Amino acid sequence: MNNISNGWFTKAKKINSPNYNNRPDKVSVDAIILHSISLPPGSYEGNDIDHFFTNQLDCDKKPFYHDIRDLKVSSHLLIRRSGELVQYVSLFERAWHAGQSLLAQRENCNDFSIGIELEGTDKSNFECVQYNTLTEVVALLLDYFPEITVERIVGHSDIAPGRKTDPGIGFDWHLWKNQLAKQTSRIK
């Protein structure tokens, strides 16, 4: 059973990213932002996501990487196609996943959210095991951060419309929220 201890999931593979900073004082974590990522796009092999989030990506490896060479980004969590959970940043810190963003008239979603990446693209379907891991993770986050409500679990596309499209059309919100409702009593 996975738990959270000192801001870290106990069963997650831990890879420390330098791309984070402190959350603003007196700002509560009250949202979860779902993303999708694969590097290169559409490829699910290797450790390029880990290298990207730790500023170690070989940008000469693929032409696409030249476009992201100067980005300094991270996420709190990644759920691989296999269902493996990877954590890069403590839940208490601000990961750099949302960019310019707005949720319920509040800007800078990195300040108050947890970023969860699903290995995939904004056009791909996701694996059942990814939904299972996501359900377990979010159920724990809902218990750990009681200010998060199901209405504040949104996609990157919801907080950056026109700029972002992830997690995309392949993410089945209805299926996943039904699965989550069975896992936790907080969702009716």
DSSP of 15-26: ---S-EEEPPTT
Average pLDDT over residues 110-135: 97
Q: Is the backbone peptide bond immediately before 24 cis, with ω within 30 degrees of 0?
A: no
* Percent above pLDDT 90 for the chain: 96
Catalytic residue among 84, 93, 107, 117: 117
**Residue 24 covered by a domain:** no
| Cα distance between residue 179 and residue 187, in whole Å | 10
**Residue 125 covered by a domain:** yes
**Residue 188 covered by a domain:** no
Q: Give the CATH number of the domain where residue 92 resides.
A: 3.40.80.10
Residue 100 structural domain: 4-19+29-183
Catalytic site includes residue 136: no
CA distance readout (Å), 93 to 37, 75, 160: 21, 10, 21
* Percent above pLDDT 70 for the chain: 98
State pLDDT tens for residues 38-53. Answer: 999 999 999 999 999 9
**Residue 104 covered by a domain:** yes
* Tokens standing for residue 150: 């199901």
* Tokens standing for residue 149: 């409500």
| Residue 185: per-residue pLDDT | 62
The total number of structural domains that make up the chain: 1
**Residue 59 covered by a domain:** yes
| Cα distance between residue 77 and residue 112, in whole Å | 15
| Residue 188: per-residue pLDDT | 42
For residue 1, is pLDDT > 90?
A: no
Cβ contact 119:44 at 8 Å = yes
